Structure 1
Amino acid sequence: MFERFTRNARTAVITAQEEARQLRHHRIGEEHVLLGCLATPSVAERILTGAGADLTTVREVVRRDGPPDDDAEALRSLGIDLEEVRRRAEASFGPGALDRAPRRRRLFGRGLPGHVPFDRSGKKVLEDSLRVALSLRHNYIGTEHVLLAMLGHTEGRAVRVLREAGVTLDRATATDLVLAELRKSA
């Protein structure tokens, strides 16, 4: 599938990994892919900035929200309030008692941390970008297809991050903007 990605789309994916790494997130989610698209000069970046997205603001929302915590969701489904557990642990053992110990990271080459894997939402956005490209009869995957795939996940983290950052952009509007951008470049 990655052989179909344009140079800009590949750059956005690499930038998503860098964003996750900078935020100290252990997985690349769709919110990191959103940051990658916004940080890469491309069709998606033009559409996002035209809708009012600002890289610094979106990055801050992602940082503030933190990485998705599947464990917390699983505990909540069992009736366990993780915040209450955290509050009690910190009352007994001090602030940050349940914070993860820093993971030992393997270093490669110039001291850069290794590969950061995609989580389910990040993988799903990339898979759906192929579907979007095919539905538009394109034989490549660009950042515009990735953006439309993200906006198709109406309850996804990327859409929530955009909403929190004050950006209102729906898939129908974005599709019209993508088609207009593609006509300009043709």
Structure 2
Amino acid sequence: MFERFTVQARAAVVRAQREARDLGAAKVGTEHLLLAVLDPEAGLAYTVLHAAGVDRDRVREEVRRLSAPRQLGEDDAAALRAIGIDLDAVRARVEETFGEGALQPAEPERGRGFLRRRATGGRWFTPRAKKVLELSLREALHLGHRYIGSEHLLLGLVREGEGLAARILTGSGLTLDDLRARVLTELRDAA
């Protein structure tokens, strides 16, 4: 499938991997693909998102906020104590069994770029991100295109509709149907 990707689309996938790494994610998710197409180098996808008022820095902050591991606080510990669970004892037992730091988020694996990850069968992508890549191919085929561009990646994100990227887009007041219509209009105007 990646052989059909334009230079811009391939660069977007590489940027998504970089975004995931920079944000400390173990895998590339839909949110990282969204950040990747929010780069001016992404071409038509960027044009559509920018015109719709989607700001890359705001999206990045929203990704950080929504994907930050939730730490159990004193209120959580009190609620657990009320039902007979001592959170500190649970933490101590986990670290005793699995080692110190076992409850800390894992460091993302480091790869050697797009080609290495591609050769591993996409294990570096979340199931939803893999679905977006598949849907981008379907969108291109549906439109009669022999290539997959950044616009198809955006259409795949829109069509997937349930990942963190879709939640961020709809949370900012956009509708996925409107974004799809904007992409299709840009494609018609460019033809």
CA distance in 2, matches of 1:3, 1:16: 18
Measure how far apart 1:100 and its partner are. Answer: 3.0
SS in 1 for 2:161: coil
CA distance in 1, matches of 2:89, 2:47: 45
What TM-score comes out, normalization by structure 1 length? 0.74
Gaps of 5+ in 1: 70-82, 109-113
Letter in 2 for 1:180: T
Residue equivalent to 1:158: 165
Residue equivalent to 2:54: 53
Contact 1:44 / 1:144 at 8 angstroms: preserved in 2? yes
Is structure 2 residue 41 aligned with structure 1 residue 15?
Answer: no
Residue equivalent to 1:147: 154
Structure-2 change in CA distance of 1:98 and 1:57 (3 Å) = same
CA distance in 1, matches of 2:2, 2:106: 34
The one of 96, 104, 117 equivalent to 1:99 is 104
Gaps of 5+ in 2: 71-78, 93-100, 118-122
Residue equivalent to 2:180: 175
What TM-score comes out, normalization by structure 2 length? 0.72
Measure how far apart 1:127 and its partner are. Answer: 0.6
CA distance in 2, matches of 1:21, 1:159: 20
Greater Rg over alpha carbons, structure: 2
Contact 2:36 / 2:42 at 8 angstroms: preserved in 1? no
CA distance in 2, matches of 1:141, 1:30: 17
Residue equivalent to 2:131: 124
**Aligned pairs, how many?**
163
Residue equivalent to 2:38: 38
Contact 1:129 / 1:141 at 8 angstroms: preserved in 2? yes
Structure-2 change in CA distance of 1:92 and 1:25 (3 Å) = closer
Structure-2 change in CA distance of 1:54 and 1:106 (3 Å) = closer
Contact 1:89 / 1:97 at 8 angstroms: preserved in 2? no
